[in-house]
Amino acid sequence: MIKVGIIGAGSMGSGIAQVAAQAGHEVVLFDTNTEQLDKAKAKLAKIMARLVEKGKIDRVTADGIEKRVHYSNSMNGFAGAGLVIEAIIENLEIKKNVFKELEGIVEETCILASNTSSLSIASIAAACDHAHRVIGIHFFNPAPLMPLVEIIPAVQTDENITSAARRHHRLMGQSNGFNQRYARIHCKSSSATFLW
């Protein structure tokens, strides 16, 4: 299990936090807006209560999932993370600034991923000193229910980072029985679909 950092506690960030915590990872969910953090916490509690009510999980499991998500209005909690997934506003300049700041906080081995739907991963990576560890990991909405995850390497992305990103998501999908995840790998010149 690793520490997973998530930037942005909106629709996507809160859902990705749930997926990672369900898989047993420690999660740090960061947002500059504390109201969004409060909303994300309340939303997770409501979802867990519903799953317990329906008999899908027991209360102890639900408590464990909720406790694994830590809410923060600073990125400093990302120190020691193995993977950080960015899910903020769809704006290239803002994302680039966030990635630059992130590099000053996490270790060199940490994978930096963006959940962007439309922006170029290569452009985001170009803002980083260590562009080889930047990758797109694109969840669909709502993340806890949608089985598809796209892994999108940029031209700068190291192949080992692509493999590691796939491995992390295989772990997320298989360790809890809630999801069976699929991934479409967009390679530089071709694309192929893999069942995890």
Residues that bind ligand NAD (CB under 6 A): 7-13, 31-33, 36, 87-90, 94, 98, 115-117, 140-141
Residue 80 contacts residue 3 (beta carbons within 8 Å): yes
**Eight-state DSSP code of residue 130:** T
Closer by beta carbon to ligand NAD, 116 or else 156: 116
Radius of gyration from C-alpha coordinates of the chain: 16
Closest CB to ligand NAD: residue number:
10
**DSSP letters for 8-77:** --SHHHHHHHHHHHHTT-EEEEE-S-HHHHHHHHHHHHHHHHHHHHTTSS-HHHHHHHHHHEEEESSGGG
Which residue, 6 or 62, is less far from ligand NAD as judged by CB?
6
* Three-state SS at 142: coil
What residues are paired with 155 via a beta bridge?
A: none
Pick the closer one to ligand NAD by CB: 84 or 98. 98
Residue 169: active-site member: no
Indicate the residue among 52 and 128 with the shorter CB distance to ligand NAD: 128
Residue showing tokens 């694994």: 68
Count of C-beta atoms within a 10 Å radius of residue 38: 13
Tokens of 181: 């995840």
Q: Whose Cβ is closer to ligand NAD: residue 12's or residue 81's?
A: 12
d(CA 126, CA 68): 32
Catalytic residue from among 70, 132, 138, 186: 138
For the CB of residue 55, give the shortest distance to ligand NAD in the complex, in Å: 29
Residue numbers annotated as active site = 138
